């Protein structure tokens, strides 16, 4: 069945779509009540976040917009040391969207939500003119323990910079799809609960966590250096990149540290905990390729330097221009 403007009316067609596809898959006590808002248990300190997803294509090797939107929002909560609890989802469907595709996406969302331990408690559906595409917004609420204080402002000279795995997989996947380049690369879209929980449970001195999405590693680290008023120094040959993505980058002249990921984070931790943190991340799901890639220094505020593979020193700036549009 194809989506029509009537599915956005708020009347019978909207109700049927919600019942047959959304409620069925996001099955939980709170959502089933179909109220204007969900009333749920809270916590003294909470984290709140939102993201809209406009990725094109909506299904790609290793994932889809449904898995992507749950991972993106769950990871944003985790990056403040929060335990993800609730998600809301707002669908903007274009006329002509196929309900079988919507069903697959919704099933993927539900499965990823189960993996990440979150409940989808509220939703909304709108229909607009178009060519059968869709956008999804997810907002999330997480609980934060009283003593947890992780933020972009806390990178401290002496800290060690760890990334949780290979750079560029999601970016290369989407670009490969769009350009029709045959390859075996898969998106890394994944929820990072396990590795963040491992760091928190083991009382690692984590100062800053950040997921490495649009803009890539260089943009994220440059922003952290600016926010924390420090310098970050990287070694290019310590940045993990899979052979397939390295070949892909070579072919197209891309730099992996400006390529977006959807299941990778940077952890800035106190030097004395770095080896233990690396081990914990490497032992976690999705963390087997983690690596120490650099350090925080007390040189100038807001600088990001990279020692290149051939021994030069290069200053990295925030991504300029388009990057890759509609990567997430």
Residue ranges in 231-290 that form contacts with a copy of itself under rule CB under 8 A: 260
Encoded tokens for 167: 């750079």
Closer CB to a copy of itself, 89 or 241, in the complex: 89
**Of the candidates 212, 207, 204, 213, which has an alpha carbon nearest to the alpha carbon of residue 227?**
207
* Interface with a copy of itself in residues 197-226 (CB under 8 A): 209-211, 213-215, 219, 223
Question: Cβ of residue 302: shortest distance to a copy of itself, in angstroms?
Answer: 13
Let me know: does 217 contact 143? Beta carbons within 8 Å: no
Q: Which residue has the tokens 């963040």?
A: 196
Determine if 126 is a binding residue for a copy of itself (CB under 8 A): yes
Interaction of residue 320 with a copy of itself, rule CB under 8 A? yes
Contact residue for a copy of itself among 127, 206, 245, 266 (CB under 8 A): 127
The residue from 19, 20, 24, 50 that contacts a copy of itself (CB under 8 A) is: 50
Kindly state the smallest distance separating residue 34's Cβ from a copy of itself, in Å: 7
Q: Which of 37, 184, 201, 315 binds a copy of itself (CB under 8 A)?
A: 37
Return the ∠ at Cα 136 (arms to 77 and 76), rounded to 5°. Answer: 10
- The nearest distance, CB 196 to a copy of itself, in angstroms, is 12
- Out of 2, 9, 229, 288, the only residue in the binding site for a copy of itself (CB under 8 A) is 9
Tell whether residue 27 is a contact of a copy of itself (CB under 8 A).
no
Asked if 188 touches a copy of itself (CB under 8 A), the answer is no
For 55-70, letters b (16+ CB in 10 Å) and e give beebebebbbbbbbbb
User: Does the footprint of a copy of itself cover residue 166 (CB under 8 A)?
Assistant: no
Distance from C-alpha of 140 to C-alpha of 55, rounded to nearest angstrom: 19
Min CB(37)–a copy of itself separation in Å? 3
Residue 259 or 280 having the CB closest to a copy of itself: 259
Subset of residues 51 to 90 that bind a copy of itself, contact rule: CB under 8 A: 51-54, 75-77, 79-80, 82, 86, 88-90
DSSP sequence for 197-236: HHHHHTT--EEEEEE--TTHHHHHHHHHHHHHTSEEEEEG
DSSP state at residue 2: B
Q: Dump the DSSP string for 247-266.
A: HHHHHHT--GGGS--SS-EE
Q: Does 292 bind a copy of itself (CB under 8 A)?
A: no
CA quadruple 125, 130, 134, 140: dihedral positive or negative?
negative
- Candidates 2, 24, 27, 40: give the one binding a copy of itself (CB under 8 A): 40
Nearer to a copy of itself among residue 67 and residue 83 (C-beta): 83
Count of positions on this chain that bind a copy of itself (CB under 8 A): 83
Q: Torsion-angle region of residue 92: left (phi > 0), alpha (psi -120 to 50) or beta?
A: beta
Three-state secondary structure call for residue 69: helix
Cβ–Cβ < 8 Å for 164, 281: yes
Binding positions for a copy of itself, 128-157, rule CB under 8 A? 128, 135, 137, 139-144, 151-153
Q: Which of 47, 118, 44 is nearest to 87 (CA)?
A: 118
Of residues 126 and 275, the one with the C-beta less far from a copy of itself: 126
């Amino acid at each position: 069945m194809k989506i029509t403007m009537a599915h956005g009316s708020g009347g019978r067609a909207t109700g049927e779509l919600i019942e047959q596809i959304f409620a069925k898959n996001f099955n939980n006590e709170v959502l089933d009540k179909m109220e204007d808002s969900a009333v749920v248990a809270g916590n003294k300190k909470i984290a709140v976040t939102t993201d809209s997803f406009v990725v094109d294509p909506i299904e790609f090797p290793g994932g889809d917009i449904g898995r992507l939107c749950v991972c993106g929002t769950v990871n944003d909560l985790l990056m403040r040391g929060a335990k993800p609890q609730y998600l809301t989802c707002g669908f903007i469907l274009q006329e002509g969207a196929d309900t079988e595709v919507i069903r697959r996406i919704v099933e993927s969302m539900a499965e990823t939500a189960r993996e990440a331990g979150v409940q989808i408690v509220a939703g909304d559906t709108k229909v607009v003119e178009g060519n059968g595409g869709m956008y999804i917004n997810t907002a999330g609420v997480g609980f934060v323990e009283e003593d947890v204080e992780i933020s972009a402002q806390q990178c401290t000279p002496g800290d060690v910079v760890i990334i949780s795995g290979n750079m560029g997989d999601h970016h290369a996947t989407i670009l490969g799809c769009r350009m029709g380049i045959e390859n075996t690369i898969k998106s890394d879209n994944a929820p990072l609960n396990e590795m963040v929980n491992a760091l928190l449970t083991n009382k690692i001195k984590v100062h800053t966590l950040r997921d490495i999405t649009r803009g890539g590693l260089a943009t994220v680290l440059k922003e952290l250096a600016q926010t924390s008023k420090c310098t970050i120094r990287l070694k290019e040959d310590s940045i993990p990149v899979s052979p397939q993505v390295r070949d892909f980058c070579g072919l197209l002249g891309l730099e992996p540290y400006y390529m977006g990921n959807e299941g990778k984070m940077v952890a800035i931790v106190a030097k004395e905990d770095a080896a233990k943190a690396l081990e914990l991340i490497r032992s976690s799901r999705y963390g087997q390729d983690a690596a120490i890639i650099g350090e925080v220094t007390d040189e100038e505020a807001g600088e990001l330097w990279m020692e290149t593979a051939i021994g030069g020193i290069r200053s990295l700036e925030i991504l300029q221009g388009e990057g890759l549009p509609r990567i997430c």
